[in-house]
Each structure stands twice: as structure tokens, then as C-alpha cells.
Amino acid sequence: MKFGKEFAAQMVQEWQEAYMNYNHLKTILKDVLRFRTLRGAPSTVAAATSHGSLKRRVSLYRAFSGLTGRCRGSPRKSEDEVILVSAVQESGADEHYQTLFLNASDEGGEYELVFFRRLDDEFNKVINFYKKKVEEVMGEADDLSKQMDALIALRIRVDDPVVGGSNIANLAVPGFSSVSASAVHPPINNRNPGWSRMEVIQEVEMSAEANSEDSNKGTINENSNTQRKTNGYKKNMKTFRPASLEVLDHVKINVEPETPVSTVKNVISSSKSDLSYSKEELRKAEELMTHAFVEFYGKLRLLKSYCFLNQLAFSKIMKKYDKITMRNASKSYLNMVDDSYLGSSDEVTKLMERVEATFIKHFSNGNHRKGMNTLRPKPKKERHRITFSMGFFTGCSAALLIALVVLIHARDILNSEGGPQYMDNIFPLYSLFGFVVLHMLMYAADIYFWKRYRINYAFIFGFKQGTELGYREVLLLASGLSVLALGGVLSNLDMEMDPRTKSFTAITELIPLALLTLVLVIIFCPFNIIYRSSRYFLIQCALHCLFAPLYKVTLPDFFLADQLTSQVQALRNLEFYICYYGWGDFTTRTNTCSGSKVFESFYFVVALIPYWFRFLQPLQVLQRLWLHIGTL
């Protein structure tokens, strides 16, 4: 794959305009090459090849520079220089870089001058955007630091741990905002200004390891080592100070209700003003902080990738320029890139290291592998058996559909006696699965285009990492369900027409019900088969739609309710299932649904249910506003 396509594929879509415009610079270089070719300049492939071979032959007779690189040739003469790159600082403006092309008077030099001007514009755009984003993540790091202070204080308040025979909460002293502030973190005035902001995250920890190591040096007797460790531990406990609990006076933890009953309790007790904390609030706070750290770390990874890709793009375009013009300008320009903020800043790297250390310690219980798997999940592997199974079921569905059409026309079922009755009773039963399969095909198409245009739908919908379904998995489920449905229709027709099974009318009519029962059993199956996490996610969203005012409504709930508004006919078919098998005589393939006023009334009520869900969902926002006003 060419670098231009790979560069575009690796871009963050939200930052697409901030990347270097590689294609535009490449177009300018094509103009330079075209001009040099028309003027007969030695820039063609043949000339470049001959020049390169001659240059290689001449280089064989130059003085050896040494293996260690200490013996270097004389510095390049000023007349050999092509460009001069300098940083310009104007009053009231940010620093920007400007390139002076020294050979502008050469034939075709105006094309190269345009190239370097556009190159400077792109570099200044990239570096300004990078500085802006680094400032943003530093501000977010400060916010996470404050949140960690509150979380650690909440842990002390809820867990009430005992250290050294006394409760940590009793050791809290006003003025201390972290553990042994003078030992764990140096004073603010003495901190290295190059430290990242996350290095001031205040943690509850005991730094007895250093004392233990110092006390163990030079000792031989094992009992003496044990005594020294004990003394070091006691000495450390004397200086141990927990995080200040005063931060909790300004913190209110809002735990979203998970059941309708808890929602009602929150409404009733909304006027409660005392600041008390429970393990449930601590669990929710840790869950939110985990999500915040994962999201923040992902943003740091994107920012680091942005820096690397742009540096690589500048390197590629300058090497292409050298190849076309047979000059040696890339070294000077790339040295400037390396010395600039884009190439020399390590704030993002240090910030990532500090986030990793903090997350592993506080949210992974010191388990490095578990913490890194959460922060940096492995990409989901595409399995060949899924593609094979999807193709196999799709082929089976096509074959069954063709066989069904041939069977209907060969036996002239629609025009035979009992044909209309068959269509009035059996067709609505099986058409339910047709609507579901069609909907799944449309959803698979959505996922395909989301992935093609690099839309992080898993994050947007809140799927658990690594459990989201790709379009292949959705197509597999759709083709599998179509095989079951078409197989049921075909077997139903065969049993109806075969004289040996024609008398078993009850068994024939129970096939659609058995198929629906099988689908429901698979959906609610508690075992870890057939994408259990996705099935449970669907059930959870369906419950949130059913009890819309009593739950916090999220994007997946809105999305599902919108999808249900387009499945009105499928919901009416479910109503027909209840009427046909509950009040009709399915053994004789007759029903009284169409003549029942109750059925006709519910026929319109069922159509209004999805829209009623969408109407109730915004009311949850008013309910949360009421709770917020009650806590003021």
C-alpha cells in the first residue's frame, strides 16, 4: 500500500483537517517533475539512475569516515546548501517556522518556492494543533488528579482501613492532601517543571520499600534483616499521612438508579442533604473513574499517533522532493522537525507512563497485564470460520428460497383450494422472521459503513471492549435466522402436501410457534454462547425502553426505540401469534382475530407502543432535573 493511502487510513477522522495535506504537496512535486521533464532537466528516471550510479562509484574513493562516526568529513559548504529553516517570533503571535529557498533563481525555482511555502504552512498548522491538544490533555490531567483525590478520600471514608493499629481516617490532618506530601511528592516550588501534570496525582500509599532496601544493605544476619525491616516499617508509619477528607465536603456522588424501585426511592428522598457515602457509591465512582482513565488514555494514544504520522509524512515528502530535484534538502528540514516542539516534546509520553502506573495500581490491584489489557485492548481478530459460516448460511438461504418459489409454482398453492386460507394464517406467522432478518441486514450495512469511515460505534453505543459485533457477525446471525425461517416454511408446505403427514395438522401448525420459542430461548439463554454479552445488552436496552421514565436514557436506548418505530408490522405479527395460538383453532387453521373488536383495538395500540416509548424517554431528563433541584 502506498504511503498516501496508509496515511489517510490511519488518520483520526475528527482531526482530519489538522493533518499534513500530503496529497496536495505531492501534487506540487508532480508539477515540479513535469516542468523539469519538459525542460530536459536531468530529473527523469534514466537521468536519476545514471546520476545515482555515478555518485555511488565516486563515493567508493572517498575517505572512510570510521565505524563509530567520530571521523566525519568536513562540514557542507555554504554553496551546497539548498534551504535555510528558521523559527520566526512575531510580536503578539505564536512562533512559526519559515524556510528560505536559496535556489529560487534557478529555472523552475518558482515551483519549488511554492512547495516550500506550502510545506511551511502545513508544518505550522500541525505544530499549532499539536500544542493546542497537549494543553487540553494537560488540563484534563489536572481534572483527573482532583477526581483521584476525591476517590481516595472516598475509599478512606467508606472502607475505613486500619494501618499500624489505627484507622487511617483518624490520621487525616488538615493541610495534607496526599500521603506524606513531603515524601511522596516534593514541594511545589521544588518540583521539576518538566514533570507531567499527572505526576501530582495524590495517592494513598506507603513508601516503605526504599527504607527497607536501605536498612537491608550490608547486613548478613537474617534476624537482623527482619528487625531492620520492622524498624523501617514503623519509621515509615510515623510519617504516613492519608489523603485529606476535606475534599468530600465539596463532593456529591450521583449514583444513577438501576431499577425502577431505586428511582422512586431517589425521588422520595431527593430532599436528603446529609453527606453520607456507601459502598455502592464507591463502586460507581470507581467504575466512572475507570472509564475516564480508559478514555483519557485512548486520547493520549491518538495524540501520540498524530505526532508520529505527521513526522513520518514530512520525512516522506522531503525524500520525494530530493528524489525529484536531485537536491539534498531533506536533512536540514528534518533536523528542524526533530528539534521543534513536534519532535522534541515528550509530555504526552510521560503522561501516558504516569496514567499507566496510576491505573495499574488503583484499578487493577497492581496486575500489570490486566491493567494494560483494559487501557490498551487488543484489536478484535477476524475469524475465518465466521466468514465461512456466513457464506454457508447465505448459500443455504438462497437455495431454500429458490426451492420455496419452485414448490409454490409447481403445486400452484396460491390458486388451489385452501390457498387463501393458508396465506391468511401462515404468512403473518413467518413474515415476522422476514422483518427481523431484513432489519438485521440493514444494521449490518450500517456497521460496515461505520467501520469503513472509521466511526468508533463501539464507544458511541457503550459496548464493552471487545464484545461489539461486526458486520460479519450480524450477517451470520441474519443468515442463520433466515435458514431456520425458510426451512420452517418449506417443511410446513411439505408436511401439508405430503399425504403421509397431511393428517398431522397440529404438528404442521406448531412449526412457527416452535421456531419463535427457539429464538426466544436463544435470546434469554444464560450460557455464554451465541454472543451472550450482546444479547444481554439488547435485553437491557429493551427494559430501559419499557421503563423509560424510571431509567437514565442513553444513546443505545434512543437508538433501539427509533428502530422499534420501524418494526410496527413485526409487533402486530406478534399480536397475531397470541391471537392465533391463544384464541384461534390452529388445528383447523382458522381464527377469529379479524372479527374480534379486542384484536382490532390492540392492533392500533401495538402500533403506538414504540412511539409511546420515544415520548416517555425525554421525560427522564425532567425527572433528573427534579432530583437535582431537590438536592440543592
What is the chain's mean pLDDT, rounded? 77
What is the per-residue pLDDT across 75-115, written as a single tens digit (0 to 9) for each?
444 445 778 888 777 666 677 888 888 877 777 778 888 88
C-alpha to C-alpha distance for 492 and 512, rounded to whole angstroms: 9
What are the Cα distances from residue 33, in Å, to 5, 48, 50, 324, 334? 21, 12, 17, 6, 22
For position 192, what pLDDT does the model report?
A: 43
Percent of the residues in the chain that have a pLDDT greater than 70, as a whole number: 70
Lowest-confidence segment of 284-298, 411-425, 536-550 by average pLDDT: 411-425
Q: How much is the average pLDDT of 315-324?
A: 90
Q: Which residues contact 537 (CB under 8 A, 6 or more apart)?
A: 463, 464, 556
Q: Is the pLDDT of residue 631 over 50?
A: yes
Q: Is the pLDDT of residue 71 over 80?
A: no
Q: Is the pLDDT of residue 26 over 50?
A: yes
Q: How much is the average pLDDT of 7-30?
A: 89
Q: Is the pLDDT of residue 402 over 80?
A: yes
For position 478, what pLDDT does the model report?
A: 96
Q: Is the pLDDT of residue 29 over 80?
A: yes
Q: Please, which pLDDT band fits residue 272 given cuts at 50, 70 and 90?
A: very low
C-alpha to C-alpha distance for 430 and 516, rounded to whole angstroms: 9
Lowest-confidence segment of 175-189, 459-473, 500-514 by average pLDDT: 175-189
Three-class DSSP category at 162:
strand
Q: Which residues contact 299 (CB under 8 A, 6 or more apart)?
A: 137, 140
For position 211, what pLDDT does the model report?
A: 40
**CB contact at 8 A, 556 and 541:** yes
For position 102, what pLDDT does the model report?
A: 80
Most confident of 242-246, 318-322, 585-589: 318-322
Q: How much is the average pLDDT of 167-179?
A: 49
Q: Please, which pLDDT band fits residue 503 given cuts at 50, 70 and 90?
A: low
Q: Please, which pLDDT band fits residue 627 given cuts at 50, 70 and 90?
A: low
What is the per-residue pLDDT across 31-40, written as a single tens digit (0 to 9) for each?
888 888 887 6
Q: How much is the average pLDDT of 155-178?
A: 60
**Beta-carbon neighbour count of residue 66 at 10 Å?**
9
Grid coordinates of 356: 499507566
Q: Please, which pLDDT band fits residue 4 given cuts at 50, 70 and 90?
A: confident
Q: Please, which pLDDT band fits residue 231 given cuts at 50, 70 and 90?
A: low
**Beta-carbon neighbour count of residue 219 at 10 Å?**
13
Q: Which residues contact 39 (CB under 8 A, 6 or more apart)?
A: 107, 108
**Beta-carbon neighbour count of residue 571 at 10 Å?**
15
For position 48, what pLDDT does the model report?
A: 44
Q: How much is the average pLDDT of 575-580?
A: 88
Q: Is the pLDDT of residue 223 over 90?
A: no
**CB contact at 8 A, 459 and 556:** no
Q: Is the pLDDT of residue 55 over 70?
A: no
Q: Please, which pLDDT band fits residue 238 given cuts at 50, 70 and 90?
A: low
Residue ranges of domains in the chain: 1-37+82-159+277-378, 384-630
Q: What angle do CA 318, 319, 321 make, to 5 degrees?
A: 60
Q: Is the pLDDT of residue 597 over 90?
A: no
For position 329, what pLDDT does the model report?
A: 86
Most confident of 17-26, 67-76, 209-218, 451-460: 17-26
Most confident of 64-68, 237-241, 386-390: 386-390
For position 473, what pLDDT does the model report?
A: 94
Long-range pairs for 231-239: beta carbons < 8 A, 24 or more residues apart: 232/208, 233/208, 234/164, 235/211, 236/206, 236/207, 236/208, 236/211, 237/163, 237/164, 237/206, 239/180, 239/183
Q: Is the pLDDT of residue 57 over 60?
A: no
Global pTM?
0.70
Lowest-confidence segment of 17-26, 103-112, 387-396, 410-419 by average pLDDT: 410-419
Q: Is the pLDDT of residue 585 over 80?
A: no
Q: What is the 3-state secondary structure (H, E, C) of 365-431?
A: CCCHHHHHHHHCCCCCCCCHHHHHHHHHHHHHHHHHHHHHHHHHHHHCCCCCCCHHHHHHHCHHHHH
Q: Which residues contact 7 (CB under 8 A, 6 or more apart)?
A: 19, 22, 309, 312, 313
